[in-house]
Amino acid sequence: MGKNLTMLQAITEALDQMLGHDDRVMILGEDIGVNGGVFRSTEGLYEKYGKDRVVDTPLAESGIIGSAIGLALNGMLPIVEIQFLAFIYPGFEQLVSHAARMRYRTRGQFGVPLVIRTPYGAGIRGPELHSESVETFFAHTPGLKVVAPSNPYDAKGLLISALEDPDPVIFLEPTKLYRAFKEEVPDEMYRIPIGQAKVVQEGSDLTIFAWGAMLREALNAAKKIEAEKGWQCEVVDLRTLYPLDRDTIVQSIKKTGRALIVHEAHKTAGLGAEIISIINDEALIYLKAPIKRVTGFDVPVPPFTIEDHYLPTVDRVKQGIVETISF
Amino acid sequence: MEKTGNPIMKAHSGGTEPEMFRVLTPEGEIIETIDGKIDKSLMLKMYESMLLLRTFDRKSINLQRQGRIGTYAPFEGQEASQVGSALALSAGDWMFPTYRDHGAAIIHGQELYRVFLYWMAHFDGSICPEGKRIMPPSVPIATQMVHAVGTAWASKLKGEQNVSIAYFGDGATSEGDFHEALNFAGVYKTPTIFFCQNNGYAISVPFEKQSASKTISQRAAAYDIHGVRVDGNDIFAVWLTVKEAVERALKGEGPTLIEAITFRYGAHTTADNPNIYRDQDEISTFWRENRDPITRLRKYLNKEGHWNEEQEELVIKQFNELIDAHLQRAEGHPKSDPLEMFNHVYAKESWHLKEQKQELNQILRKGGKK
Ligand SMILES: Cc1ncc(C[n+]2csc(CCOP(=O)(O)OP(=O)(O)O)c2C)c(N)n1
């Protein structure tokens, strides 16, 4: 009924099942065919489905995303893999000006059901521009949906939902978690709704909001704090970054009265600011302390020799919890 | 100020012009065999379509001056390119026009009143008739070219007998998407037609400053696709070239890059003043006298006894009435409801848009009470 899979394996399984399930599904990207992707997330699919379904494209992000838009307009269901998030920039315009706007521009006449998958985030000892976390660019774009799973189970269920979504979805895969741990993943094609956050751990003293790779730092910090001080943190995995699940955010604040946001993206105009605004609008009177953010710094992600100092650490998160609770 | 001194197409190539395919000379002589491929009724359709578009275009400029439509991009001078290419397509073919190609869109089936709606900034101006695949005008340069590769690619995968045509200008050939589109189309042999109207200028920048290439069509060689340079003011040549490209595409022979040499007599848009960057009178007069697409076909049709002054007057009168009727329909179109801005962002409205819509709705209602 299920298997223990890494996030990568769960993603491969989802892709495999979707290709098998619907002839219109195609995967496009650089090195995803014969090579099975630089992280091997499409391993075996080229052999199984052939060169027209699992397509090794030219090295051109605008061409890939732009032609995938055309494929989607004309009835296919393309899944694009961008090799690393920061390499999406040559295709950024296709994504924000066209994929995201086609439905709007044509008043619903033509939609672009397209999924863009890409590894993102630091902690993999990558070269320059392999570790960025710029989800805000996409969460600022009406017409796009932004999804970021934090575990194998969610990754499969969210990816299947993303493909079935009539609108373009950018699917951010935390590179650091690709092979970090295994988890039981059901065999069948199950779905996790886009737009719903998940309370991963219940608590009453403070809520930590996180997503992607930072979820593990949040959970670890919460565990340590509980052991050290007896404080119970609620941990919420946002899973969908745009549109956000406001209800879950607000409910949790009503319960705990304190919030800490942990993200590895740069602080300024990071998604944390948006979450604070939502709480401000909807739950200000429940707050017992100012909301804190523990984030990446407002600098380009530094070389890997010092990237650990850029990333929020369990200690920084713990410090944030202490400052918020003892405010 | 540096203007283009030599009006004879210095803007296109910076020197003597490489050969281009031409069938009908400016004097109205046929110099290539057309093998009965273009019969009288098609010739008349071509001619009348060009007249319709010219009437429409001039009218639109006046409407802009009267404040009845917004900024407008005229195409007078480019009628043979737009009509000739569009008439070579089948009804189900995908068309990706730019802001200057509403002429082609109209000939491919877009309704005139919708085009007016577009320039009046109505949301509904981008909708094409049911079953047609005329995409909204592309505003960012060259971006639509890759979409046309994608739709054509899907047609090929699905085994559908359709081509996709992308329209663009000479300036677009400097953009990365031009190259990416040609490259993808070459690799996947997609049934895509890349139709460049080289009107010599990208707003103010002449082609000689745009690129060191002598021609645009020569770029096809780099992608190993078919490339043709054609007299864009010769509707027979344009039609035959696009027709051939369609046939090649449907036979699985892949994409074609067509460079149609033409000229826009007027401004880039109604907000632009071409006198700043070119000898407007001299160069426009030269083109009107020596290369105009409508005049040359009329000369031929007159000579053959297919057309006369009375017919001309009559159809122009009919076109004016037709255009007026569409204008009326457009002007009678309900005003855009501000709340429309929230529709169709997503297939299903999400909570934040629902609430923002409500917020605007409340503001609007309060405003009404004042
Ligand atoms: C990506 C992009 N950059 C700049 C512009 C501004 N712009 C609008 S039209 C134009 C010139 C286009 O020239 P060309 O491709 O030759 O087409 P033409 O207008 O002559 O038909 C420019 C620079 C734009 N629309 N899109």
pLDDT digits (tens, 9 = 90+) for A182-238: 999 999 999 999 999 999 999 999 999 999 999 999 999 999 999 999 999 999 999
> Mind telling me how many Å the CA of A230 is from chain B's nearest CA?
37
Average pLDDT of the segment spanning B95-122: 98
Tokens coding B210: 């745009």
Given a cut of 70, whether residue A112 has pLDDT beyond it is yes
| CA B196 – ligand 1 centroid, Å | 13
> Mind telling me how many Å the CA of A247 is from chain B's nearest CA?
10
Atom in ligand 1 nearest the alpha carbon of residue B73: 19
Nearest-CA neighbor of B73 among B95, B96, B89, B97? B97
Q: Tell me, what's the pLDDT at B18?
A: 76
Tokens coding A253: 């604040």
Average pLDDT of the segment spanning B350-355: 95
Nearest-CA neighbor of A242 among A146, A131, A168, A134? A146
| CA B226 – ligand 1 centroid, Å | 25
- Alpha carbon A199 to chain centroid distance? 16
Average pLDDT of the segment spanning B2-31: 72
Nearest-CA neighbor of B134 among B185, B88, B97? B97
Q: Tell me, what's the pLDDT at B370?
A: 43
What residues does B166 pair with on adjacent strands?
Answer: B96, B194
Per-residue pLDDT band at B346 (split at 50, 70, 90): very high
Q: Which of B132, B133, B135, B153 to substitute to test the interface with A, most A CBs within 10 Å?
A: B153
8 A C-beta contact, residue B270 and residue B74: yes
8 A C-beta contact, residue A56 and residue B130: no
CA atoms within 13 A on the CB side of A249: 28
Q: Tell me, what's the pLDDT at B11?
A: 56
Radius of gyration of chain B (CA): 21
Query: Which of A67, A106, A142 shows the shortest C-beta gap to B127?
Result: A106
Q: Tell me, what's the pLDDT at B1?
A: 44
Dihedral pair phi/psi, residue A98, rounded to 5°: -125, -60
Residue bearing the CA closest to ligand 1, atom 17: B169
Which residues neighbour A220 within 8 Å (Cβ) at sequence distance 6 or greater? A314, A317
What is the chain A residue with the closest CA to B138?
A: A98
Q: Tell me, what's the pLDDT at B16?
A: 61
Helix extents (H) in chain A: 7-21, 45-49, 61-73, 89-93, 102-105, 135-139, 152-164, 214-229, 246-256, 271-283, 307-310, 314-325
Q: Tell me, what's the pLDDT at B36?
A: 86
In the DSSP assignment, the letter for residue B139 is -
Residue bearing the CA closest to ligand 1, atom 25: B140
Q: Tell me, what's the pLDDT at A301?
A: 95
Average pLDDT of the segment spanning B120-148: 97
Q: Which residues, judged by CB distance below 6 Å to any ligand atom, belong to the binding site of ligand 1?
A: B 100, 139-141, 168-172, 199, 201-203, 268
Percent of chain A with pLDDT over 90: 100
Average pLDDT of the segment spanning B130-142: 97
Query: Which of B150, B176, B347 shows the shortest C-beta gap to A73?
Result: B150
In order of A28, A77, A110, A183, the CA distances from A71 in angstroms are 11, 7, 12, 34
Helices (H) and strands (E) in chain A, counts: 12, 14
Determine, for residues B126 and A105 on separate chains, whether the beta-carbon distance falls below 8 Å.
Answer: yes
Q: Tell me, what's the pLDDT at B8?
A: 52
Q: List chain B residues with CB under 8 Å of A49.
A: none
Tokens coding B280: 């407007």
Average pLDDT of the segment spanning B41-54: 98
Given a cut of 70, whether residue B47 has pLDDT beyond it is yes
Determine, for residues A58 and B187 on separate chains, whether the beta-carbon distance falls below 8 Å.
Answer: yes
Whole-angstrom distance, CA of residue A44 vs CA of residue A211: 29
Q: Tell me, what's the pLDDT at B367?
A: 76
Determine, for residues B345 and A103 on separate chains, whether the beta-carbon distance falls below 8 Å.
Answer: yes
Q: Tell me, what's the pLDDT at A299?
A: 95
Q: Tell me, what's the pLDDT at A218?
A: 98
Dmax (CA) for chain B in angstroms is 72
Atom in ligand 1 nearest the alpha carbon of residue B198: 16
Residue bearing the CA closest to ligand 1, atom 11: B202
Helix extents (H) in A165-312: 214-229, 246-256, 271-283, 307-310
Which residues neighbour B205 within 8 Å (Cβ) at sequence distance 6 or greater? B171, B277
On average, the pLDDT of chain A sits at 97
Average pLDDT of the segment spanning A136-163: 98
Considering the candidates A130, A263, A266, A309, report the single residue annotated as catalytic.
A130
| CA B203 – ligand 1 centroid, Å | 7
Decide: helix, strand or coil at residue A311. Answer: coil
Given a cut of 50, whether residue A154 has pLDDT beyond it is yes
Tokens coding B300: 């031929």
Question: Could you list the active site residues of B?
Answer: 264, 268, 277
Q: What is the pTM of this model?
A: 0.95
Dihedral pair phi/psi, residue A161, rounded to 5°: -65, -40
Q: How does pLDDT run across B250-297, given as a tens digit for each residue?
A: 999 999 999 999 999 999 999 999 999 999 999 999 999 999 999 999
Per-residue pLDDT band at B3 (split at 50, 70, 90): low
A-B contacts at Cβ under 8 angstroms: 126
